[in-house]
Amino acid sequence: MSSVVERPAGGPAAVARRRRGPGAVAQGVLLGLGLVLLIGGFAVIAAMYRPYSIPTASMAPTLMAGDTVLARKTDGADVRRGDVVVFRDQVWGGRLMVKRVVAIGGDTVAVGPGDARLTVNGKPVDEPYLADQGAQGAAFSVEVPRGRLFLLGDNRLGSLDSRVHLEADGGTVPATEVEARVEATVVPPGRTGLLAGTSAFEAVDGQRPAGPGPLEPAFWASVVGAATILVTSAVGAVAGLVRRRRRAA
C-alpha cells in the first residue's frame, strides 16, 4: 500500500519565505530603506541642481576660478539681494555668468565719489564677502527698473558686471535671465561646502537672505542610504558565512 506524502501549500518558494528568520527580514527592510534614501537623494539633486564651472576670479574670494558649483534652478522670480546667481544676458555677450545681486527692481543703487561702500535706497551696505573692502570702482547711481536686477562681482576691481554696461538699461539684467542660485562649491575638495546666505542687505528693508535649499538633506540622505546598503550587505555576508561554517561542522 503506497503512502501519500503531503507537500506544504505554495511550493518551495512559500517554504523558503516561512523559513526566513527575523534577521533576514530586518536585512531586507534595511536594504530597501537604504535604496530609497540613496536613489531619492540623488533624484532630488539631479532634478533641482545643475553644476557650473567658474571661469574667472570675478567672484573671488567667494568663488575662485576653476571651482565647480551646484546651483538650484530658478526662474528668477524669487531672487533676493545678496544671492549669487547664474544668468545669461544677450547685451553682456550671451555667455553664462555668475555674479551677486546687489539691487532688485525699484531699488536705487549707488556708489558716491570716493566712497568705499555701496548704498541701496540710500542705506550703506557692509559687504563682508568682498575681496577688497575699500574698492568699489568708479561712482555711479542707478534706479533699477521693475523686473530687473543689478549685479556685481565680489572682486570689484576685477569684475565685468553691471557697472561696465551702464549705458544699456543702467547695467541691469532681466530677472527672467537668471537660471539658478548658487548654493555650494563641490570642486576642488578643499573648497567643498555650502555657500552661506548673507545678511548684508537686511538693513535695506529687513529682507532676509534666501533660505537653504534641499541640497544638504538630499546629500546626507544619499550618504546614509549608501552606508546602510554597504553595512547591511556586509553584515548579511558575514552572517551567511557563519551559518555555512556551522552546517559544515
Catalytic amino acids?
Answer: 58, 99
Q: Rounded to an integer, what distance in angstroms lies between the CA atom of residue 202 and that of residue 26?
A: 50
List the beta bridge partners of residue 125.
Answer: 118
113 by Cβ neighbours in 10 Å (0-12 / 13-18 / 19+) ranks as: exposed
Closest CA to 218 of 44, 73, 32, 72: 44
Phi and psi at residue 32, to the nearest 5°: -65, -45
Output DSSP code: residue 113.
T
- Report helix, strand or coil for 211: coil
The grid cell for 187 is 570642486
